[in-house]
Structure 1
C-alpha cells in the first residue's frame, strides 16, 4: 500500500472512531435539550464548516480528536455590559431576534439601544435606552435569539439550554455516551465481519480447500461433512484437527457426507514441523444471528483483554515506551492495511474499544474524569464549583498534551529514525 493510501486509510479510520465517539455525546446532549454549538472532527483551523439549525459542523486540520461544544461548559464569550451600544432586531411581536454588536449601520432596521441591564440566561430580557430617550425600555429576548458580530451569528444560551442546568442523570448519560458509542461501533464492525466473512464454526465440516494440500489431491471438497476418520466417529472440527495432526504421512480414510451421498476418501496428511496438515481451513458460519451474538462477545472479550494489559502495565511498572500515540497507530495501520480491508476493519474495532476504555479512565479532561466529578456531585448532593473543576480539567489537559508529545516523539524514534 502506498504512503498516500495509508494516510487516507488512517484519516478515515481515526476519523470514524472520533466521529462515533462525539456522535454519542451529541445525540444524548440533544435529547437532554442541551444547546450544541459545534460538532467538530479534528483540532486546529477549520477546513470545512457547515451550519444546520443550531449546530456548526466542522472538520478541522489536525485529525487527532474531536469535540462537541455544549453551551455552559465554557464561559460565554459575549456579555452585554451596562453602557454597551447594541442594535436590536425585533419581530412583529416586539421580541428580540438578533443583537447586533458592531457594524450596526449594516442593519438599518435595528433599534439602537444603550444597555442598562441584561439577563440573557434566566429572565431573557434587555433593559436600555433608545437614542434620544431617557426612559428605560424593556425588550424581551427570544430563547433562540442570536448575537451578530462581524456578520457572524452566535445563538444565545439560556440557562435551560446549558449543560449544567440538566439533571444529573442526563449529564452523566451525555458524558458516558461517547465511550459507549465506541463499544457499539466495535460490536457493529464485528457483526458485519461475521456476516461477510463468517465466524469460525466447530462443526465437523471442511472449510476452504487450499490449492496445494493433500486434501485437494485426494478429492475432498469444501462443505464435506466428516462423520468418521478410519472408522472413529468425529463430532467437531477440533476432532478432525487432532486426528490429522497426530498422523503425518499416514493414510487416513475420511468417511464423509456430500450432498446426501456417503463417501470414503483416503487422505495422506503432509508432514509440517512434525504434525499432519491436509490444506483445509476451519468452516465459517455466516448466520446473522450468530454473527450478532459473537459480535458482542468479541467486544466483551477484547475489552477484558485491554483491561488486563492496563493492569499489567500498572502492576508491572508503567513506562512511556509501552504507549503508542497517533504516529504509532499510523505505523501499525500501515502494516494492517497491507493485509486487506477486513483486517483493517478488525483493527478499527480494536482501536474503537481502546478509545472507549481510555476515555473512561478517571483522568481529568477525559470523559472518565468528568464522570468522577458527577459521581462526587451525586454523593455530596451539589456540584463542585465550576471554576475549580475547570482548573482541574485544564491541568489534566496540559499533562495529557505533554504526555502526547513525549509518546509521539518516542513513536517517531521507534518507527522512523
Structure 2
C-alpha cells in the first residue's frame, strides 16, 4: 500500500510539474490552452478557470496541455449552416450556438453565408428577414455544441502563430521543469539530511541493515578495510559495492579505541541490473543553506550526465532492452526506496524527474524532443512542415512507443514475477 501511495504522489507530482511548465510558458506566449490534464482516458474531475479546463483522468500514464492549433478544430461551420447568436454589451457575438437552438430562445438565428473565426472574426449570414448581415465576433466567444462550451481560437491565439522561439520555449519548458524539480528535491534533501562529506565516517546506519547488525555505529571512522587504508567516503563505498556477500573486516576508530568489525555486505540489484554490495550506512553530513543549494544543482547535473551516458550505452549496444524498466519495474524500485525511508525516496523521485525530462527531450515523434525537432526543421526550411504529415509522424511514433512500453513491461514481469 505504501508503494502504491508513493507511486501516486511521485508520478502525480512529476507529471503535474512537467505539464505546468508547458502551461505557464504557453500562456506567457499568448497561446490559448484549452485543457490541462493529469492522466489520459475518461475524466474523473474537471474544473474550469478562465480559459483553461483542469482535469484529472482515469489512466495515470502521463498528462497533456491541449493548446489551440495543435489539433484540428473539432467544430467546423460551413455556409448553409443554421446557427444561433448571442451578443455581449458591445454588440459583438459572444455565443455561437451550433445545435439545440430551441434551448436558447433569445438567440438570433441566421443562415451562414461566410464565416471567419481565425483572422477577421466575422460572420455573414441571412436572418429571418432574409437580409444578409455581418456580425463581429468577440475574440473570446464560445461555441455551444450539445450545451458544451468551447472557446474559439483566433489565429493569434494558436500555437502555430507564435514565433519559433516562443514555441520552442513552450515545449522545452516541460522537461526543464522536471530538472528544476529534481534540483529543488535534492536541495531539500541536503537541508534535511545535510550535505555528504567525503570522509570514511559512518554518518548514520539504517535499521536492520548489515552495518547495524555487525555493530557499526554513527560516528565510526573507518580507518581501513581488510588492511587497505581509506581516505574518502568514495574509497569506502567502492569496496563495499564490489564485495557483495563477502566478509570484510572494518578497522574502526571509535573514540580513542581502534576495533575490528567483520561485516558482510548484502547483495542488492539496482535499476541498472547491476548487483552491488550494501550495508546500510549514510555518509557524514554538514548543514549549510548555500552549500545545500550548490549540492542540489551539482547532484542534478551529475544525474543528468549519468543518465545520458547510460542512454549512449544503450545506443552502442552495451546495454540492451533488458536493462530498461517500465511501469512495473519503476513500481518495484519505488517500493524498495519507500521501504528505506523518506530521504531515499526523495533521491529516487529526483532521479525519476530527471529521467522524465531527458526521455522527453529525445528526438522521437510524440515526445517533446520530436516536436522540438520539427520546430528546428521549420527554422532550417524557412517554412513549417505540413501539419497533416507531422501529425502522422507523431501518431506512428506514439504507436511505436506503446509497443516499446509493452516489451519493457513484459521484461519487468519476467524479472520480478516469473
Shift of 1:320: 2.9
Contact 2:250 2:263 in 1 (8 A): no
Contact 1:143 1:156 in 2 (8 A): yes
Contact 2:201 2:233 in 1 (8 A): no
> Residues of 2 paired with 1:390 and 1:240: CA distance?
52
Partner residue, 1:195? 191
Contact 2:216 2:261 in 1 (8 A): no
> Residues of 2 paired with 1:135 and 1:112: CA distance?
12
Cα offsets for 1:321-353 (capped at 9, x unmatched): 222211221121112111112211111110111
> Residues of 1 paired with 2:316 and 2:194: CA distance?
38
Shift of 1:268: 2.4
Q: How does 1:326-341 map to 2 (within 5 A)?
A: 326-341=327-342
Contact 1:214 1:267 in 2 (8 A): no
Q: Which runs of 5+ in 2 are unaligned?
A: 206-210, 222-230, 241-248, 265-279
Shift of 1:238: 6.2
Shift of 1:307: 1.0
Compute the TM-score of the two structures, normalised by the length of structure 1.
Answer: 0.84
Contact 1:163 1:171 in 2 (8 A): yes
Q: How does 1:374-393 map to 2 (within 5 A)?
A: 374-393=375-394
Q: Which runs of 5+ in 1 are unaligned?
A: 227-235, 255-264
Shift of 1:44: 0.6
Partner residue, 2:208? none
> Residues of 2 paired with 1:402 and 1:337: CA distance?
29
Compute the TM-score of the two structures, normalised by the length of structure 2.
Answer: 0.84
Cα offsets for 1:23-50 (capped at 9, x unmatched): 1111110000000000000011111111
Partner residue, 1:373? 374
> Residues of 2 paired with 1:302 and 1:88: CA distance?
56
Shift of 1:215: 8.8
Structure 1 pair 317–176 and aligned structure 2 pair: CA distance change class (3 A): same
Which 4+ runs in 1 deviate beyond 6 A? 203-206, 209-216, 236-242, 248-252
> Residues of 1 paired with 2:391 and 2:379: CA distance?
18
Partner residue, 1:404? 405
Q: Is the partner of 1:27 in helix, strand or coil?
A: helix
Structure 1 pair 412–215 and aligned structure 2 pair: CA distance change class (3 A): closer
> Residues of 1 paired with 2:141 and 2:327: CA distance?
41
> Residues of 2 paired with 1:385 and 1:251: CA distance?
69
Partner residue, 2:322? 321
Structure 1 pair 249–335 and aligned structure 2 pair: CA distance change class (3 A): closer
Which shifted more, 35-44 or 312-321?
A: 312-321
Compute the RMSD of aligned alpha carbons. 3.2
Partner residue, 1:157? 153
Partner residue, 2:275? none
Partner residue, 2:296? 295
Cα offsets for 1:110-138 (capped at 9, x unmatched): 1011111100100001110112x222110
Cα offsets for 1:336-381 (capped at 9, x unmatched): 1111122111111101111111111110111111111111111121
Structure 1 pair 318–82 and aligned structure 2 pair: CA distance change class (3 A): farther
Contact 1:113 1:129 in 2 (8 A): yes
Contact 1:214 1:268 in 2 (8 A): no
Structure 1 pair 97–238 and aligned structure 2 pair: CA distance change class (3 A): closer
Contact 1:215 1:267 in 2 (8 A): no
Partner residue, 1:347? 348
Partner residue, 1:60? 57
Is 1:272 the counterpart of 2:256 in the alignment? Answer: no
